[in-house]
Amino acid sequence: AATGNPDARVVPIRLADAGVGDLLREGDLVDVLTVAPGSGDLSPNAQVLATGATVVLAHSAEGARDQRERVVLLALAPDQATAVAAASLVSALTVTLH
Q: How confident is the model at residue 5 (pLDDT cuts 50, 70, 90)?
A: confident
Q: How far is CA 84 from CA 21, 53, 77, in A?
A: 17, 10, 10
Residue closest to 95 by CA, chosen among 43, 6, 30: 30
For residue 40, which phi and psi values (nearest 5 degrees)?
A: -100, 10
Domain boundaries in the chain?
9-97
For residue 39, pLDDT over 90 is answered with no
For residue 43, pLDDT over 70 is answered with no
Distance CA 18, CA 72 (A): 10
